[in-house]
Amino acid sequence: MKKGSLPSDGALMGLKWRIIRKMIAPRWWFNLQEYRRRLMDYSDEELVDVYFHIHPVQYRDHYLCVLSELRRRGIKPQIAERPLPDVRWWLPQWLEKCPWLTAQSWRYRLAMGFASGLLSALLTGLGLAPVVLLVSGLNFTGRMLSVLYLIWLVGALAYGVLMTYRAGARGVPLLIALLGSAGTSWLFLGTPTFQRIWYDLLKPSTTPWVNPLVVF
């Protein structure tokens, strides 16, 4: 940029972004390696305090850094109440409230898998409830509607798995959540509601086909 000339829009946007980043958080917050080094300098009480106040979903990478440092020190914070703001269903934190589960790792993993599968199955069933209401309750049927209902079925399965993932299911518990949603969908295939959908989809059309070339 020449002396006396105005800065370009790109330069102004870059300057604005640097100013905003400094206002939001210090520079080391955006560097995970520096953040890990700073966590190593914290006392046990300070580290536990960070664990209780960091948002595990919004700042997932930083949260994992805190967990890693806690495990390195062998610290297991005792959770009496919901410690994380604005997190209403985070399966790991609810299960950690039970000392009997956390006493043995296999108990915790078993409970996490069971909770993930159950939650995913319930959410998939909740997603399929409108289809049951429309077909069996209000008798909204037809070939085109049947196609939409089948798409809805796939969406309900994906909804159950996705929301369980957002609730903290990772790895094997996420696979169990997929099985839970698939099990609910499989049970739905045996209901009279799905039989009606399948019948409307396969039944021959009563409307005669008209050649548009003959009409014009």
pLDDT per position as a tens digit, 44-87:
888 888 888 888 777 788 888 888 888 888 887 664 444 444 44
> Do both 109 and 193 map to the same domain?
yes
pLDDT of residue 30: 65
Whether 184 maps to a domain, the answer reads yes
Instruction: Say which amino acid occupies 155.
Output: G
Averaged pLDDT score across all residues of the chain: 79
pLDDT of residue 101: 83
pLDDT band at 216 (very low <50, low <70, confident <90, very high): very low
Between 92 and 208, the more confident residue is: 92
Query: Would you say residue 91 has pLDDT above 60?
Result: yes
Q: What is the DSSP string of 39-91?
A: HHHS-HHHHHHHHHHS-TTTTHHHHHHHHHHHHHHT--PPPSS--STT-S--H
> Do both 78 and 109 map to the same domain?
no
> Do both 84 and 109 map to the same domain?
no
Number of domains in the chain: 2
pLDDT of residue 25: 55
> Do both 196 and 153 map to the same domain?
yes
pTM: 0.58
Whether 138 maps to a domain, the answer reads yes
pLDDT of residue 160: 95
Residues spanned by the domain of 63: 17-88
8 Å CB contact between 37 and 44:
no
- Compute the average pLDDT of residues 79-99: 63
Residue percentage of the chain with pLDDT more than 70: 75
- Compute the average pLDDT of residues 96-113: 86
Range from 21-25, 33-37, 157-161, 176-180 carrying the lowest mean pLDDT: 21-25
Whether 117 maps to a domain, the answer reads yes
Whether 211 maps to a domain, the answer reads no
Whether 11 maps to a domain, the answer reads no
Q: What is the pLDDT of residues 110-134, one digit of tens each?
A: 999 999 999 999 999 999 999 999 9
Cα 59 to Cα 29, 88, 102: the distances in Å are 11, 16, 24
> Do both 82 and 110 map to the same domain?
no
> Do both 109 and 198 map to the same domain?
yes
Whether 130 maps to a domain, the answer reads yes
The SS3 call for residue 142 is coil
Task: Determine the Cα angle at 92 with ends 89 and 98, to 5°.
Answer: 105
Whether 172 maps to a domain, the answer reads yes
pLDDT of residue 112: 92
pLDDT of residue 51: 85
